[in-house]
């Protein structure tokens, strides 16, 4: 079976508007401009699309698993159901230790195994350094989007997912023979 390529996506701040510490209220869950278009472009170029998100508010009792799932359903609805899988880590170190939680890479590693993903052909797009660390631990290339600045000078940065999509596609173009 041929290995697949994938773009792993953080949720809050990459796919939907960051709403402070926690984004879980359905009426406030807003998909960012350009996200459906970027996802469609990536899908047309053969990428699996897998969301990797920490959801510590569940462990802290701030919101429920069903509220998170409702937000994910809204995300899928606004993106025409194009996302292949959504992994979330409900734990938090103050309540319950979890290797799934970013900056650890267990969510990515599980998806890599389940979907036969080639890390060398894959990317992690996130808006925080912990997203970059998780991607690097899993052996995928990383792109930081938004306001944070990369700690490494060679790290790729983009203003949003649409610009990150352009970087991904440009990096995979084959040189002319």
Catalytic residue among 10, 127, 131, 160: 10
Question: What span, in angstroms and rounded, lies between the C-alpha atoms of 102 and 148?
Answer: 16
Q: 78 and 104 in contact (C-beta within 8 Å)?
A: no
Give me the mean pLDDT over the 105-117 stretch.
Answer: 97
> What was the pLDDT predicted at 1?
75
3-state SS assignment for residue 61:
coil
Cβ atoms of 51 and 86 closer than 8 Å: yes
CA-closest candidate to residue 31, choices 88, 74, 64? 74
The residue among 21, 29, 83 whose CA lies nearest residue 56 is 21
pLDDT tens readout for residues 13-36? 999 998 877 888 999 999 999 999
Q: Answer yes or no: 10 catalytic.
A: yes
DSSP tally for the chain: helices H, then strands E: 5, 6
> Parallel, antiparallel, or unpaired for β 123-126 and 85-89?
unpaired
Choose the catalytic residue: 12, 104, 127, 160: 12
Give me the pLDDT at residue 177, please: 43
Query: What is the chain's length?
Result: 177
What pTM value is reported for the model? 0.91
pLDDT confidence band for 157 (50 / 70 / 90)? very high
Structure tokens at 91: 């734990």
Q: Which residues pair with 31 in a beta bridge?
A: 16
Mean pLDDT of 146-170: 84
Chain segment 34-80, per-residue pLDDT in tens:
999 999 999 999 999 999 999 888 888 889 999 999 999 999 999 99
9-127+153-168, which class in CATH? Answer: alpha beta
- Encoding tokens for residue 76? 């899928």
């Amino acid at each position: 079976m041929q290995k697949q390529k994938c773009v792993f996506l953080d949720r809050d701040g990459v796919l939907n508007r960051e709403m402070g510490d926690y984004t879980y209220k359905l009426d406030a869950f807003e998909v960012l401009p350009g996200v459906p278009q970027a996802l469609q472009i990536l899908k047309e170029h053969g990428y699996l699309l897998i969301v990797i998100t920490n959801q510590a508010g569940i462990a802290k009792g701030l919101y429920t698993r069903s509220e998170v799932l409702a937000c994910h359903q809204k995300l899928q609805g606004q993106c025409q159901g194009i996302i292949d899988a959504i992994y979330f880590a409900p734990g938090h170190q103050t309540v319950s230790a979890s290797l799934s939680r970013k900056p650890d890479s267990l969510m990515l590693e599980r998806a890599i195994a389940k979907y036969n993903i080639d890390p060398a052909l894959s990317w992690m797009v996130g808006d925080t350094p912990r997203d970059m660390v998780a991607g690097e631990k899993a052996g995928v290339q990383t792109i930081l989007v938004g306001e944070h600045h990369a700690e490494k000078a060679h790290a790729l940065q983009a203003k949003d997912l649409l610009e990150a999509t352009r970087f991904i596609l440009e990096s995979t173009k084959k040189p002319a023979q």
